[in-house]
């Protein structure tokens, strides 16, 4: 991402270039390229990169990468040209790009490789199948954070900023807690287990687009902030957000979550049940197993594999399948899907499910719908 005089000059140049509007997903990827979240990538992938990532988790240069980072368009764009990339909503110029390659892909192959399904009902598959026919590859110069800083303030942190904060706190073992949901009691439990073995936890919220029915980031992060303030020891949690859209790629997305957390300064990633999943497309612990299938040196960030967690009435608290000897009749399964259902219906939510301060924030949101 450019700054100072270089930014001013490139913005002026961008205004004279032909522009194309990127998708919401591509905007998030572009911002991540700019802030260093996708280091060492310098731009959108070539066909060789795309093929290598789909089939073997490696770019053409041999960099481990689990999900293609691509840009597609229907516009008439020539190889060798310079173009500007614009925000999908307001047309703000986000970047300039030198087009080094234009190519077509087998969309079904990408879906089968990345999502393990070609079912059009899968939101990630739908996203890929609806994208334009031609992919453009090339390096980018990023001009804007896409409005994330203005919208989320200090919550929007770059990798350089999180690493600086961890250094200030004296943290060297940092667990990333990935979330696209408000944190209920199960999430709280997992984060606290991670704190027991690490110096601290980065509660890292996705700020990009979600599927219909998910709780918006501004509501979710406010609920998380209340939980951290009331129920975590000071100095053990940093809350931040990052600009990606969800792909719902399950195990492959778990690898991507671990990969870019390296750049944010995290040594570990909490990987729970059905990490980054949707529907019943993935097994509950497929995201655990995929870390054992890749080379040990592919990632610096290591998984903290967590079993399914629940409230056990006989244990009298949160527990997991590894610690609780009791049966399903004694357990209250805690899930974001169930919480959203109760809240949208105005139903009572058990105290064992979510903290009252969190519910207050969420009920206010649902009351306004």
* Residues catalogued as catalytic: 180-181
Beta strands in the chain (DSSP E): 19-21, 43-44, 71-73, 82-86, 93-98, 101-104, 134-142, 174-179, 200-206, 237-242, 268-271, 302-305, 309-312, 317-320, 331-333
What's the rounded Cα separation, in Å, for the pair 159 and 195? 21
Contact 246, 211 (CB under 8 A): yes
Contact 310, 318 (CB under 8 A): yes
What's the rounded Cα separation, in Å, for the pair 14 and 94? 9
Q: How far does CA 41 lie from the centroid of its chain?
A: 17
What's the rounded Cα separation, in Å, for the pair 34 and 15? 19
What's the rounded Cα separation, in Å, for the pair 195 and 193? 5
Nearest to residue 94, comparing CAs of 203, 217, 243, 201?
243
Question: 3-state SS of the chain: helix, strand, coil percent to 5?
Answer: 40, 20, 40
Nearest to residue 155, comparing CAs of 87, 220, 75, 247?
220
DSSP β-bridge partners for residue 44 = 138
* DSSP letter assigned to residue 211: -
* DSSP letter assigned to residue 1: -
* DSSP letter assigned to residue 16: T
């Amino acid at each position: 991402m450019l700054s100072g005089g270089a930014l001013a000059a490139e913005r002026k140049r961008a205004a004279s270039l032909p522009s194309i509007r990127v998708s919401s997903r591509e905007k998030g990827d572009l911002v991540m390229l700019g802030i260093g979240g996708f280091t060492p990538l310098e731009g959108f992938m070539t066909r060789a990169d795309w093929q290598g990532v789909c089939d073997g988790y490696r770019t053409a240069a041999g960099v481990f990468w689990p999900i293609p980072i691509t840009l597609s368009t229907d516009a008439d764009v020539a190889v060798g040209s310079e173009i500007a990339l614009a925000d999908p909503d307001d047309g703000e110029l986000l970047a300039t790009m030198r087009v080094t390659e234009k190519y077509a892909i087998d969309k079904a192959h990408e879906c089968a490789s990345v999502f393990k399904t070609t079912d059009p009902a899968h939101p990630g598959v739908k996203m890929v199948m609806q994208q334009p026919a031609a992919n453009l590859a090339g390096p980018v110069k990023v001009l804007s954070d896409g409005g994330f800083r203005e919208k989320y303030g200090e919550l929007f942190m770059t990798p350089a900023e999180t690493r600086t904060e961890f250094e200030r706190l004296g943290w060297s073992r940092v667990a990333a807690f990935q979330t696209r949901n408000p944190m209920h009691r199960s999430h709280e439990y997992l984060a606290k287990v991670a704190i027991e073995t690490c110096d601290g936890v980065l509660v890292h919220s996705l700020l990009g687009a979600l599927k219909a029915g998910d709780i918006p980031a501004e509501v979710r992060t406010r609920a998380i902030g209340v939980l951290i303030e009331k129920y975590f020891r000071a100095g053990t949690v940093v809350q931040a957000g990052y600009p990606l859209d969800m792909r719902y790629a399950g195990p492959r997305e778990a690898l991507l979550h671990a990969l870019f957390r390296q750049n944010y300064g995290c040594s570990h990633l909490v990987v729970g049940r059905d990490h980054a999943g949707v529907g019943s497309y993935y097994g509950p612990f497929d995201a655990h197993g995929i870390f054992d299938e890749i080379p040990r040196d592919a990632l610096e960030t290591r998984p903290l594999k967590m079993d399914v967690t629940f409230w056990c009435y006989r244990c009298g608290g949160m527990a997991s399948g590894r610690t609780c000897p009791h049966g399903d009749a004694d357990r209250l399964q805690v899930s974001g899907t169930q919480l959203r259902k109760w809240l949208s219906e105005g139903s009572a939510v058990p105290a064992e499910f979510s903290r009252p301060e969190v519910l207050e924030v969420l009920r206010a949101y649902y009351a306004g719908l």
